[in-house]
Amino acid sequence: MPELPEVETTVRAISKFQNKILKEIIVHNAHLRWKVDKNISQLSKNKLIKEISRRAKYILIHFNDSSLMIHLGMSGKLRIQNIGNNFFKKHDHIELIFDKEKIVFNDTRRFGSIHFTKSFKNHRLIENLGVEPLSREFNKDYLFEICRIKNISIKKLIMDQKVVVGVGNIYASESLFLAKIKPNRLSKKISLKECDQLTNAIKRVLRYAIRKGGTTLKDFYSADGSEGYFNLNLNVYDREDENCKNCKSKIKKVTIGQRASFFCDSCQN
């Protein structure tokens, strides 16, 4: 599943379409996670793109008075293609047409979505989301305050999109390893010092993953066709029974909230 670094990588790849006219949207299949508005092409036709940004795992294409919200879901990806290239892949559902190029939305499992909105900040899918992990708001005091009122595993807490957005399974496991905290520790027992370590670790891991172009484990590629290389630097994720790179102990696997979690019993407390 594309997480924050993969979405950010995609946003950067399509940022060249800023200050260009979106001529039209062609919908080949409207039956995604939410049915695509039948008027989306007319609503977006010939609009100037002022900015392309990200909120959580949503790609935001901003016009003067409205925005497009794109979510990649479980298997979605965007692909930049020349207008003269008629190559069409199975599961190509939507095309954003420009003068010389187009952005193609491909989604095998169809859990992705695209929405037209007048106010993305007030959209029902965005308005209740938590803070951005790379923002100043996400700090030790913020996390510690939430840890005090929650009685769940720390890994489940940092993956809660209403607490902090975009920290997916891979990055949660890697951040907890860097912060030396076991994923199944109860949030109420996490100290202020550990919250400081963890917020810094999450920022460090996500920034590094973005620099590496995200994680290509299955079928994620950026819009420009490049792979992500963060998976080459994984310390614990998907490394069960392999030696810890730090202490040579065996990496362990547990299930937390129906998600596989990986950790080193020696390095993490």
Long-range Cβ contacts of 179-182 (<8 Å, 24+ apart): 180/267, 180/268, 180/269, 181/154, 181/268, 181/269, 182/154, 182/263, 182/265, 182/268, 182/269
The CATH code of the domain at 4-122 is: 3.20.190.10
- DSSP letter, residue 251: E
127 catalytically annotated? no
Report the 10 Å Cβ neighbour count for 149.
8
E strand or H helix at 202 = helix 192-211
Mean pLDDT rounded to a whole number for the chain: 94
Domain-by-domain residue ranges, the chain? Answer: 4-122, 140-264
Active-site residue, from 2, 5, 133, 183: 2
* Residue 216 pLDDT > 80: no
The closest of 252, 255, 234, 256 to 242, measured between CA atoms, is 252
Per-residue pLDDT band at 2 (split at 50, 70, 90):
confident
- DSSP letter, residue 71: E
259 catalytically annotated? yes
Active-site residue, from 54, 57, 79, 212: 57
2 catalytically annotated? yes
Predicted confidence at residue 3, as pLDDT, reads 87
Where are the extended beta strands (E) located within the chain? 21-22, 24-27, 47-48, 51-55, 58-62, 67-71, 76-82, 92-97, 101-107, 113-117, 251-256, 259-264
**CATH T-level topology, domain 140-264:** Helicase, Ruva Protein; domain 3 (1.10.8)
Active-site residue, from 110, 140, 180, 259: 259
What share of the chain in percent tops pLDDT 90? 89
Give the phi and the psi of residue 254 in degrees, each rounded to 5.
-135, 160
* Residue 227 pLDDT > 80: no
110 catalytically annotated? no
Predicted confidence at residue 171, as pLDDT, reads 94
